[in-house]
Structure 1
Amino acid sequence: MDRLLMFIATGAYSGYLPKAPGTWGSAVGVLIWLLLNRLGTIPYISVIGTLFVIGIFSAGAAEKIVDRPDPGIVVIDEIVGLLIALSLAPAHPAAVFAGFCLFRFFDIWKPFPVNWIDCHLHGGLGIMLDDVVAGLYALLVLELGLWLIRML
């Protein structure tokens, strides 16, 4: 069971890739988005919700397995956050790239309340929730940018 939990929590082991596991996890999120982006709104949101719940349990278990709080190898949170950031994005490479960059920006910068969640909520829920909020910030900025481009 530990292997399955670690497989999920580490984004199919992408969290073990060198240098920037969060960026690798976000890249896995893009690959998943490519598979899901044509599902329609209800199924897409259902997948995100399911991954969020599974992520809470697998990320919390991964903390215990590696005996470290919020270990860097856990990237299921980046996958869910990226899926949120791209949830309304058109299937255009520039929009996907912008959403990816915006999500990484907000995930690293951690503006309020992302930083508060990161510091005050622990366990699987804390691991997941800060990236959900970073994904929401990226979604809002991406949609604002796309709206402005359409207005030009």
Structure 2
Amino acid sequence: MSSMKISAKTVFTDPIHFLAFGFGSGLAPVAPGTFGTIAAIPLAYLIASLSLLSALLLVLVTVIAGIYICHQSSRKLNVHDHPGIVWDEFAGYMIAMLGFAPEWWNLLFAFIFFRIFDIFKPWPIKWVDKHVSGGLGIMLDDLIAGVFAWITLYGFNLLWVMKW
């Protein structure tokens, strides 16, 4: 199946595709990465409500599982990093929210910062995106985007939120 268009039936009948496509959010006809990140908001909220250790462990499981899930989905579709594979957005956004209170401004600005870094791919994100293959390659650029978004959100909280 090498076509870029993937049917809902394919996604909803295969557990690997179902997870890789973010519970179906990656089927969005435009901006599937953005829709995947939106679908990750409830999970990020849940993770932000946990202790830091529990959140770190859950994100680690999400990342390790994601490497496998994204690799298998990509292999089955015979397309490296299909746009509908959004599990990497889930993991990246969760990283962006690690350790932050589940307040609306953190959820919103983590979303904005993560999407900016994921879309524009500054170095080294772009390099990783072009040179690392397989499930690790699909995941790693978004994990780095999540770290960049985390750093930016931390600065935002220091400069703006803490002042109020």
TM-score if structure 2 supplies the norm length?
A: 0.88
Counterpart amino acid of residue 33 in structure 1: A
Aligned-CA RMSD value: 1.3
State whether residues 62 and 91 of structure 2, in contact with CA within 8 Å, keep that contact through their aligned partners in structure 1. Answer: yes
Q: Choose from 126, 136, 139 the match for 2:147.
A: 136
Q: Which residue of 1 aligns with 2:44?
A: 33
C-alpha separation between the residues in 2 aligned to 1:18 and 1:107?
Answer: 18
| Structure 1 position 10 matched with structure 2 position 21 | yes
Q: Does 1:146 align with 2:157?
A: yes
> Residue deviations 1:125-151, cap 9 Å, x none?
000000000000000011011101224
Unaligned runs of 5+ in 1: none
Question: Partner residue of 1:98?
Answer: 109
Using the alignment, how far apart are the partners of 2:89 and 2:104 within structure 1? 19
Task: Identify which range, 80-89 or 102-111, moves more after superposition.
Answer: 80-89
CA contact (8 A) 1:88 1:139 kept: no
Deviation at 1:88, TM superposition (A): 2.5
Gaps of 5+ in 2: 1-12
Identity %: 32
Does residue 52 of structure 1 match 2:63?
yes
- State which of 115, 123, 137 in structure 1 corresponds to 2:134: 123
Note the 1:60-99 alignment, pairs <5 A.
60-99=71-110
1:1-50: CA deviation from partner (whole Å, max 9, x where unpaired):
x8111111111111012211101111121111122222101110111110
Aligned partners of 1:85, 1:94: CA distance in 2, in Å?
A: 13
* Residue identity in the other structure for 1:86: M
1:81, distance to aligned residue in structure 2 (A): 0.2
Partner of 2:32: 21
Give the Cα separation in 1 of the matches to 2:159 and 2:28.
Answer: 37
| Count of aligned residue pairs for this structure pair | 151
